[in-house]
Structure 1
Amino acid sequence: MIMNSRHVESTISCSETSGYCQTQYSYLIATNLPGFYQCNSGQKSGQKCSCVSRRRNIVWLIFLIGVIYYVIYLIGSTKQYLYKVDTYSLPCEMPILDPYDADQMKNVKLSEPFICDNTPFLVYIDKENLLQFNTSAVNILQIARDSIMCTCEIIKRGVDTDDEVTYSDTFDCTPPYNIPSDFFKITCSSAENELLNTMLTKIHRRRNDLKSNSDGFFSVILFGLDSVSRNNAIRQIPRAVKYLHENLSSIDLLMYNRIGGHTFDNIVPMLTGLLANTDDIPYLNDVGTRFEKLPFIWKNFSENNYVTFYAEDHLQFHTFNFKKEGFKRQPTDHYVRPFWIADFESRPTKLLFWKEDMSSYNKRKCLANIPKYLVQINYLKQFIDTYKDVRKFGISHLNELSHQDVNDLHLAEDDLIEFFRWFKEGDHLDDTFLIVYSDHGPRGQSQTHQSLLETNLPFLSIVPPNKFRSSFPEIIENMKRNAHVLTTHFDLFATLKDILLRQFKEPSITFVHNKPRGISLFRDIQKQRSCSESSIPDQFCMCYRSQKLNITNNSVIKQIAQDVADKLNQALAGAKGCARLHVAAVLEAHVLVQGKQTVEKRQGLFNKISNVVSGRDYADYRIVIQTHPGNAKFFATSKIAADGKRYVLDNIERINRYNNQSYCVSDDKLRPLCYCVE
């Protein structure tokens, strides 16, 4: 029965059930038929046909319309994506750190001056290296000079050891007297009254094969201040920094980046061009460590008729002796370590450095009436004066002054300025490079985020000789440009090599394992230089921006903190007596915003979606955690590997002092990590 008799146009359609063409009406389409079917063009009713589903056509039509709409939507829209960028290999963009940042200034304190003996020194060493009476002191004592008798003992380095000294027999050395040694103990008395009992330095000239600074040769003096960042120098000794710049026309490197964690890890690259604790120089523990085979550049200077000098003033923290055995043979012509061993042995109380109270600690920073750092500065001045006419290569590293507390540095500012002034007024700048450097910034003295960054940026200021400036003005311009380029201790090594070889027309690039590593500061270094090209380990690279994170209920940071603890415990697994460490708190976290990591990208049909990753998947993090037991604080970096898995970089850094917490281990790598338990 037809429900709707209104006539409409008839069509020839293909029957779904019979497969034959037949006449159908539009009202049936609306009432009876389940779908629409069509016959091929020209077919008549009753002919067999091939049915084509009109429903299928409609589905395809809808799909096509959807695709067109989607493409139009993508072409017309813009979204922000986070693209993975390997900024370790991109041109360096270093954060600008304000030296007078409010948080940093909270840590700046004026240390109490070292209280040294105020008794005038009875004797001194004159410019001819002769022991002489101090006439002013004799007059103050109101004692006839003829009544004063002095005896001496020569201090000798032990045989094949860096940790022992011997003493000669006592002999009469009443001034004037030429002591045939660099170091000696002296006692002076009048009648039965002891007037003086101390030790002195001088330079006993030995070598006769030395040559003058002629034919383009230049001398080098490296003056080191331990644990001083550029910003620390600006805060602690601003007048000394200003004097270097304004009076000596120094070239200060603003983007000088450390290479390693400790002093040893930075001084070794500076003096050898090699990276410590790697395939270059395998990890050195305290057993059987000898450094004779390392290619220290002072050996090359010595072979080229230079007199050599090395001095550090802190026995416990000596670069080559802290948990190591140092040198079997004396490394340089003049070497101050035996003097400081004798000084230590002469002390009535020999407390371990971590058990000293501040009173005893300050007393130990004096030798008679002057601070120990000034004793070493004076020894360096004796060396420079004695060998003024010949080629010389000297390193004086002031360790004790600022290693424990960088706030003590300001106490030496007047003496530093006086040394720089003496260097200039004594005409030593005519043919001698003065290089004022540090190994790294302060470690373990402050835990603000900026202080952690400043640790990576040691102080370096170079004063070229006057003759060099006039002969090579284009190199001076290169050095000034390089002040604003990423540089490292490797570059300073390459520069020392050029000075040695007089390689000024074509300054060098040093290669290790067939890859460029150090670029002489005499070259015009490209501003596009990256941490990768500079051989800076990832965890010390300063070429990034960062954003502080809210760490409350942050699951990603919580997991990274646990990863850090797991890595620490993995390192400690084979050490006996070390407690298992647990995360007590996350103190701070930053996400690294490196290079152009965030970019505006127009979505389109040809976007490679595989290159787009989420911020959580890609972001590098740097966090500070506190562990228990022991309340250690560790600074660590977490990255993403190529397979998408997150990992923590090696060399997790302990940023607060561990003192004697790790007494049960001797391994140099484990001591900062271990908390010893009974």
Structure 2
Amino acid sequence: MDFVSSTNGKSAEERINVILLGFDATSRMNFLRTMPKSNAYLLKNLSAIVMEGYTKVAENTLPNVIPVLSGHTLGEFKRKCMDLGADSGSVHVDECPFIWKRFSTNGFRTGFAEDDVGIGIFNMNWRHAFEKPPTDYYLRPFSNLMQAKQSSGDGQCYGTRLSFKVLLDNLENTAVTLKNHPFFHFTWATKLSHNNPNHLALGDIPLLRFLRFMHRDGHLNRTVLVLMSDHGSRLDGIRSTSQGKVEDRMPLFYLVPPPWFATRFPTAYQNLKANSDKLTSAFDLHETLLDLMDLSRLDNLEGRDVNADEISSRQRKASSLFQPISHNRTCLRAGIPLHWCVCRGDSVQRPMVDVESEEVQSAVRYAVDTMNYHLRWQHSCATLTLQKTTDAFYIDFESKEKLGSADEKPADGDTDKFTILRLSFTTLPGEGAFEASLVRGVVKGSWLLAEKVVRTNEYGDQSHCVDQDFKEFCYCT
């Protein structure tokens, strides 16, 4: 470390910059395919740690980013700090427990930047999410103006510059300006990859040049750089394939520690490397950020409770990536609802089953009925009917943990073994494609959703007549 001063009583050695650089809708595999030059530099020149077991915890961007920034599920986050009775135009999240507030309290400068303000992480769901700038450096006013005045072509560029390059330039300027002061910066690139996973290739050379600049000028000597995503591609053709189903669930996550980190914190570094093939989630990344906010926490890892699985198997147990994580960790223990679980340590997938069987048809009817129930007060939306069941298979789970989403309360009693029916289907009107995981209910012949029904193709303008909460299901009449 070479900061010349310290703040809040922390020594220079205990302070380090943290940069989260997020790529919307980017699986680890698509990063390998489309950014080969940047990937090679990260691995060979920067000794990046690749978290191969990192799994998403929810469907789309907001509920996958909120756990990183707050340590809570989206449901917990809303209950903690939001007016749940307000309409989206009057909801503000200024009082919510974002991690950049904790960094600020600990003497860090903070920054938040994203390029696609029209579908920004927070403003897509709440039109005026922040009444005041949430961080010391906030790029949204600039991005608003650039999008209104300088956006060109398919929206990838501001004038003659790729919008992704603008974000990287902003990070470079931040690193230079704050070279003697620790900072936390969260940057989210949406335009590059949101609409087409192949467009990510446009950012390979800009990212490579950014990495070279940060390395050459010594900024990575005092910075932990995290490259991450919320999920893989959710709404294009690949999503309907077996490969696409897995990639959607396993987003990008690389962590680049400073070159001195392994020597200064050998136990933490060895744990980090060992955890690269373990099951991890956004909740673990949040815990890791807390450690990076105060590196003195890494001197006493043995004294921290990390894997008390036998004590409370029902509860989510987040773990810093600098602590040892068990090979036997389950999805629900990591905060991953079973619908998103791809870990075969939790489950065994059986062969495909006949989609015309009564068992499958009763399950898919229940899923469609649930979608229509969700729309019951949306009188501008058509009643959905089943068009086709495209595939179905059973997954046998062995667990003593709760079913349902991470926001739901545990069911009564432990269940050692249970089976999920995961199916894909399309509906009319609109030919919407959906995926659902269901379990048998207590009443004979009944079903329960293990997680909400999720859409797997674009709804475009079909849902223009409703708010964001209903767009996935609604076909406007």
Establish whether TM, by shorter chain, passes 0.5: yes
Partner in structure 2 of residue 393 of structure 1:
184
How do residues 89-104 of structure 1 correspond to structure 2 at under 5 angstroms? Answer: none
The residue matched to 1:669 in structure 2 has which SS? Answer: helix
What is the alpha-carbon distance in structure 2 between the residues aligned to residue 650 and residue 397 of structure 1?
27
What is the letter of the counterpart of residue 539 of structure 1? H
- 8 Å contact 2:315–2:333 — kept in the other structure? no
Cα deviations across residues 544-603 of structure 1 (Å, max 9, x unaligned)?
Answer: 34345253532221222111111111111111211000000011222214469xxxxxxx
What is the letter of the counterpart of residue 299 of structure 1? K
Partner in structure 2 of residue 591 of structure 1:
394
The residue matched to 2:173 in structure 1 has which SS? Answer: helix
2:273 to 461, 473, 480: 480
What is the alpha-carbon distance in structure 2 between the residues aligned to residue 619 and residue 465 of structure 1?
45
- 8 Å contact 1:227–1:402 — kept in the other structure? yes
What is the letter of the counterpart of residue 463 of structure 1? V
Partner in structure 1 of residue 410 of structure 2:
none
What 5-or-longer segments of structure 2 have no aligned partner? 1-5, 400-415
Q: 1:458 to 1:673 in 2, by over 3 A?
A: same
Cα deviations across residues 632-668 of structure 1 (Å, max 9, x unaligned)?
Answer: 00111111245554222342111100111111111x3
Partner in structure 1 of residue 324 of structure 2:
524
2:202 to 404, 408, 411: 411
Partner in structure 2 of residue 537 of structure 1:
337
Partner in structure 2 of residue 440 of structure 1:
231
Instruction: State the shift of 1:429 in Å.
Output: 1.8
* 1:623 paired to 2:417: no
What is the alpha-carbon distance in structure 1 between the residues aligned to residue 342 and residue 305 of structure 2?
22
Partner in structure 1 of residue 44 of structure 2:
246
Instruction: State the shift of 1:448 in Å.
Output: 1.2
- Percent identity of the aligned residues? 28
Partner in structure 2 of residue 402 of structure 1:
193
- 8 Å contact 2:419–2:439 — kept in the other structure? yes
What is the letter of the counterpart of residue 232 of structure 1? N
What is the letter of the counterpart of residue 466 of structure 1? P
1:305 to 87, 103, 107: 107
- 8 Å contact 2:338–2:451 — kept in the other structure? no
What is the letter of the counterpart of residue 562 of structure 1? R
1:647 to 448, 462, 466: 448
Q: Which has the larger radius of gyration?
A: 1
Cα deviations across residues 602-640 of structure 1 (Å, max 9, x unaligned)?
Answer: xxxxxxxxxxx9x9xx63211111000011001111112
Corresponding residue pairs, total: 439
TM normalised by structure 2 equals: 0.86
Partner in structure 2 of residue 286 of structure 1:
88
- 8 Å contact 1:213–1:431 — kept in the other structure? no
Partner in structure 2 of residue 633 of structure 1:
433
What is the alpha-carbon distance in structure 1 between the residues aligned to residue 356 and residue 454 of structure 2?
25
* 1:458 paired to 2:238: no
Higher helix share: 2
Partner in structure 1 of residue 156 of structure 2:
365
Q: Which stretch of structure 1 is more off in the superposition, 431-440 or 540-549?
A: 540-549
How do residues 257-276 of structure 1 correspond to structure 2 at under 5 angstroms? Answer: 257-276=55-74
Instruction: State the shift of 1:516 in Å.
Output: 5.2
- 8 Å contact 1:213–1:219 — kept in the other structure? no
Partner in structure 1 of residue 373 of structure 2:
570
Instruction: State the shift of 1:467 in Å.
Output: 2.8
2:242 to 449, 456, 466: 449
Cα deviations across residues 481-504 of structure 1 (Å, max 9, x unaligned)?
Answer: 111111111001001111113210
Instruction: State the shift of 1:378 in Å.
Output: 0.5
Partner in structure 1 of residue 35 of structure 2:
237
* 1:381 paired to 2:172: yes
What is the alpha-carbon distance in structure 2 between the residues aligned to residue 454 and residue 275 of structure 1?
22
Cα deviations across residues 511-544 of structure 1 (Å, max 9, x unaligned)?
Answer: 99x9553111110111111112112122222223
Partner in structure 2 of residue 316 of structure 1:
118
What 5-or-longer segments of structure 1 have no aligned partner? 1-207, 351-359, 597-612
Partner in structure 2 of residue 661 of structure 1:
462
Partner in structure 1 of residue 404 of structure 2:
none
The residue matched to 2:119 in structure 1 has which SS? Answer: coil
Partner in structure 2 of residue 491 of structure 1:
284
Instruction: State the shift of 1:303 in Å.
Output: 1.3
TM normalised by structure 1 equals: 0.61
Q: 1:209 to 1:533 in 2, by over 3 A?
A: closer
Q: 1:547 to 1:417 in 2, by over 3 A?
A: farther
What is the letter of the counterpart of residue 258 of structure 2? P
The residue matched to 1:639 in structure 2 has which SS? Answer: strand
Partner in structure 2 of residue 506 of structure 1:
300
Q: Which stretch of structure 1 is more off in the superposition, 367-376 or 283-292?
A: 283-292
Instruction: State the shift of 1:209 in Å.
Output: 7.6
- 8 Å contact 2:80–2:96 — kept in the other structure? no
- 8 Å contact 2:271–2:324 — kept in the other structure? yes
How do residues 97-112 of structure 1 correspond to structure 2 at under 5 angstroms? Answer: none
The residue matched to 1:483 in structure 2 has which SS? Answer: helix
Instruction: State the shift of 1:219 in Å.
Output: 1.1
Please report the RMSD computed on the Cα atoms of aligned residues, expressed in angstroms.
Answer: 2.8
Q: 1:409 to 1:391 in 2, by over 3 A?
A: same
